[in-house]
Amino acid sequence: MKPEWRAWLAVELEKGPSVHGWTEDWGWTLARVATVIARRFHERFGQAQSWSILRQMGFRCRYRCRCGGATDPTPASGTEHQPAASPGSVSLDGIVPG
């Protein structure tokens, strides 16, 4: 992903998912991030690729996550456990800048 695309994505993530048409209060999911990238740049990235991009941008998971988007009941950061709201994806509410 080009550096200027990453800069744009960082700004859009700060705006929140409602700006991009999602009304459910699930926060950002990897599927939503991939959709926003595809809409803007006409490039499709899977959820694994989207997570890789986010990690390269300095994001890290706030909670220990299991496969399929479920979260471990033991928070990695000492904060309270919040399960992923969307089945099959990791919520960006649990991802913070590194």
DSSP of 3-64: HHHHHHHHHHHHH-GGGGT--SS---BHHHHHHHHHHHHS----HHHHHHHHHHTTEEESEE
pLDDT tens string 48-74: 899 999 989 887 776 555 444 444 333
Q: What's the confidence (pLDDT) of residue 27?
A: 79
Indicate the pTM of the whole model: 0.65
Q: How many domains would you assign to the chain?
A: 1
Range of the domain at 13: 3-97
